[in-house]
Structure 1
Amino acid sequence: MFLNANAQNLLEKIEALLPDPLPRRLGVAVSGGSDSTALLRLLSKIAPTKGIELFAATVDHGLRKESADEAALVGEFAQRWGVPHTILKWQGWDGSGNLQDQARRARYGLLLQWAQERGLGAIALGHNADDQAETVLMRLARAAGVSGLSAMAAVRREGDIDILRPLLSVTRTQLRDYLNTEGIDWIDDPSNQDPRFDRIKVREALTQLDEIGLTAETLTRVAENLARAREALQQYTQDSARKVVHEIDGVLCLDQDDFQSLPDEIRRRIIVAAVGWIAGQGYPPRQTAIDQTMKAISAGKSATLGGCLLTPEGKKIWISRELRAVRDQVADPGDLWDNRWIVTGPQDAGAEIRALGEEGVAQLENWRDLGRPKATLLSSPAVWSGDTILSAPLAGHASGWHIQMAANRPEFYASILSH
């Protein structure tokens, strides 16, 4: 394979950020913009040399009349370069809420489903140094801490799929220069010029900051430095959590004195990790909400955070699912409940899995023998037949039913390092 000097330089930067070895089946998300188009072309050149099958996908959000034609054009590029291409259509926006956020979530969801259906081990995205720099500035405006300012990671695990960002050390200008050299066109999305969006305002501000040395490359190095600091803090947090946190049937119990002796930042990180593990990883709670929660538990008061309930009792702090977050969730036996529990047992027509709640606890005689606050049991899964409790496996009333946590859920301590 012959590559000119520019392409060779890009290839070296990409390979430095790719995991080794790469999965044998690799996906790449391509919008048709310059970044993802350049990534597709470069990966289409290197994949055959490493024995990798490459697949491409384009998400058509259907928000502009041109989007279908643009997705089809990406398909033509992919076909020309010998890459199978799939168009994934999103039809989920009802016209309300934050469009960019909803579109982003939908895009990731569609891409992950596509990857799982095709047995792909990873998906490569076209985020580059400019995107990294813009993200740092946007989070700086929100007074983000170390984790926020370390911005995007080159490799991130999402379920069974690795999300790869091999262009984080490459600028948009370098990518466009490469495409121009290769005679390859790309699609300019007009939303990338719309000043109503914060990211576009930040993009414009970056052009002014160049004059004082705040370039995309500089801000990317800042993000990389902070990423190393974040990794050290995560390791310290995990080591500390092993000493002060105990997992009991999906609920976390902290030793109050040992917990309060830790540095503020480590205590905060343990709480955020606990909430993410119990309620499901997503965006972490806002800093103001975290601060209020930390003050409450230090004062011996209960608090709610991110769909979880924190209950100080004696020398312990209990962290469990908040009943309000799961009150309306219903599942059949054997199906996933609250995205983490699977309850199975005798065949019983009409049985369903719901939260235990106050009504369920009232039907149990020995729940106090568990030595846990009642509040931590209310949100636990129970087997109901109408208004009657058949089983409450986590509340000491199994009655022949069995419960297990979903296989894709890591143990709590491992989850601290996984995000």
Structure 2
Amino acid sequence: MPARLGPDLDSEGGLAALFAAVADAPAIGLAVSGGADSLALLVLAQRWATSLAKPPRLHVYSVDHGLRPEAEAEVAMVLAACQSLGVAGTALRWDGDKPQSGLQEAARLARYRLIGAAMKSDGVAVLLTAHHRNDQAETVLMRLAHGSGIEGLKGMAPMAQVEGVRLHRPLLDVPPDALLSVVEAAGLEPAADPSNVDPHYERVRWRQAMPGLSKLGLDAATLALFAARMSEADAAIAQMAEACFSEIVRLDGFGSARIELLPFMGLSAAIATRVLSRVLNIVGGRQKPRALGQVERLRESIANDDLPRSTTVLGCVVRIKGDAIAVAREPGRSLPPDALLHPRGELVWDERFRIINGSDDKTLTASVADYLPRHRLEDFLGFKVTAPAEAIRTAPIVRDAEGGVLSLGGWSFDERITVQLLID
């Protein structure tokens, strides 16, 4: 199969298409390390912005992770390139102790935390990164080797939220040699990070395997096309699963769920797994949203009618109860401690409930309902409570300084408090 050409980086129309998703943003951040890919991103973004009648404000963020002595000079080089192009730039540094294992992932998280904080200070809402076609191909291969499902095999999304940072990857369909040509034409000298060729890292091992795979027809362009097709399939399954979720899943104010068993059993495996995964994600407090293997095994146990009397998966207690699958939050050490509700502020409690204090009262406290007797619950709520005991024990309760109950689970009894169950 001939290699697919990437977008035209030399034309105004090609640049407009490249940055179309952020064209309306008043300010745009760029993550620039000093390598060829990110320097090309800087050059292309600056070229695009200057072609506009009302260009966005560009701001470059370059991070020294404190791992190599050369990194400080590389960040300085990036800032010099920014100055020559008329783009604002900020140098950031990851200080402190570094982990002995999982260093690349720790560095990635630190980088986004640092950049995210700087963006907030600078009034920048979206960050562009220079992930390109080969990065996408390596991601697909790694996820395939790890047993990912369709959701993982779609690779990196062009738009994403990473560590609280809104991210856009405009170069995902651009081959790296095209980016290198942009840098060379601009007269810039890219930095070379030795970790990019260190086989200690899994991504590098896949990178080194790519030439051999390419000879067999599995090149970066083919893998990127595969990822795009998986994205389309994932979107179709997600659409069907959303419709099924609305039909057969009922969430209550305690944050537990009831899935109608018979229609669930009639779903295809892919859609049933997606519905079940979303329920576990909501009820369990978003513990491991991509733990596909555990969700698949749970679905198979339900389908084969060999689910134990109750089982725990991803922070949830799951059991068959009559004609439904009952899913409740698992009590345990992972539940949050008591928390003060700041005046006119909000709190995301156990990654399941958003609790809003709409008053100036500084004494309101959210805590775990724990062993609140059912008859007291029914006095508060005015109806018979049939939720699983685990759901009641793990629901949030808000009290004032005198111990008065202002809310329980998703129900509010006082105008000062608003509670929302998080379902997305």
> TM range, normalised to the smaller chain?
0.7 to 0.9
Name the residue aligned to 1:324. 332
Once the two structures are TM-superposed, the CA of residue 65 in structure 1 deviates from its matched residue by 2.5
Question: Is the 1:296–1:303 contact (alpha carbons within 8 Å) kept by the matching residues of 2?
Answer: no
Alignment check: 8 A CA contact 2:109 2:163 kept: no
Q: Which amino acid aligns with 1:104?
A: R
Per-residue deviation, 1:303: 3.2
Matching of residues 195-344 of structure 1 within 5 Å: 195-249=199-253, 250-279=255-284, 284-298=289-303, 299=305, 300=307, 301-324=309-332, 326-334=334-342, 335-336=346-347, 337-339=349-351, 340-342=353-355, 344=357
Quick check: 1:10–1:170 contact (8 Å CA) kept in 2? no
SS state at 1:120 partner: coil
Q: Which residue of 1 aligns with 2:46?
A: 44
CA distance in 2, matches of 1:83, 1:195: 35
Give matches, 1:365-376, under 5 Å. 366=378, 369-376=384-391
Q: How many residues align?
A: 404
Does residue 29 (structure 1) correspond to residue 31 (structure 2)? The answer is: yes
CA distance in 1, matches of 2:69, 2:374: 57
Shift of 1:282: 7.5
Contact kept, 8 Å, 2:250 with 2:259, in 1: the verdict is yes
* Secondary structure class of the residue paired with 1:324: coil
Matches within 5 A, 1:35-184: 35-50=37-52, 51-91=55-95, 93-157=97-161, 162-184=166-188
Kept in 1: contact 2:30–2:129 (CA 8 A) = yes
Q: Is the 8 A contact 1:333 1:344 kept in 2?
A: yes
SS for the counterpart of 1:369 is coil
Letter in 2 for 1:331: A
- One-letter code aligned to 1:190: P
Unaligned runs of 5+ in 2: 1-6
Question: Alpha-carbon deviation of 1:196?
Answer: 0.7
**For residues 306 and 185 of structure 1, do their structure 2 counterparts lie closer, same or farther at Cα, with a shift above 3 Å needed?**
farther
Q: What's the secondary structure of 1:220's corresponding residue?
A: helix
Say whether the 8 Å CA contact 1:326–1:355 is kept in structure 2. Answer: no
Indicate the structure with greater helix content: 1
Q: Distance in 2 between matches of 1:17 and 1:225?
A: 22
| CA distance 1:288–1:327, change in 2 (3 Å) | same
Counterpart of 2:419 (choices 404, 409, 418) is 404
CA RMSD of aligned residues (A): 3.3
Tell me the distance in 2 between the aligned counterparts of 1:40 and 1:395. Answer: 47
TM-score by length of 2: 0.84
Provide the TM-score with structure 1 as the length reference: 0.84
Distance change (3 Å), C-alpha of 1:102 and 1:386: farther
**Cα shift readout 1:206-254 (whole Å, capped 9, x = no counterpart):** 0212212221111111111111111111111111111112232244332
Distance 1:61-1:212 versus aligned 2 partners, 3 A rule: same
Q: Check whether the contact 1:6–1:178 (CA below 8 A) recurs between aligned residues.
A: no
Amino acid of the structure 1 residue aligned with 2:419? Q
Residue by residue, what CA displacement relative to the aligned partner does 1:50-89 show, whole Å, maximum 9, x if unpaired? 3211111122222222323322221111122111112233
Give 1:21 deviation, angstroms.
4.0
1:297 touches 1:303 (CA, 8 Å); kept in 2? no
Seen in structure 2, the aligned counterparts of structure 1 residues 153 and 325 have a Cα distance that, compared at 3 Å, is farther
Indicate how the Cα distance of structure 1 residues 112 and 393 shifts in structure 2: closer, same or farther if over 3 A, else same: same
Moved more, 278-287 or 130-139: 278-287
**Aligned partners of 2:74 and 2:154: how far apart in 1?**
33
Tell me the residue number matched to 1:378.
Answer: 393
How many angstroms does 1:343 deviate by? 5.2
Aligned to 1:370, the other structure's residue is in SS state: coil
Deviates more, 1:238-247 or 1:153-162: 153-162
Select between 12-21 and 105-114 the one with higher mean Cα deviation. Answer: 12-21
Q: Is the 8 A contact 2:338 2:365 kept in 1?
A: yes
- Structure 2 Cα separation of the partners of residues 310 and 351 of structure 1: 33
Report percent identity of matched pairs. Answer: 27
Letter in 2 for 1:152: M
Offset from partner CA, 1:82-123 (integer Å, 9 cap, x none): 111122333365424422222222223333333333332321
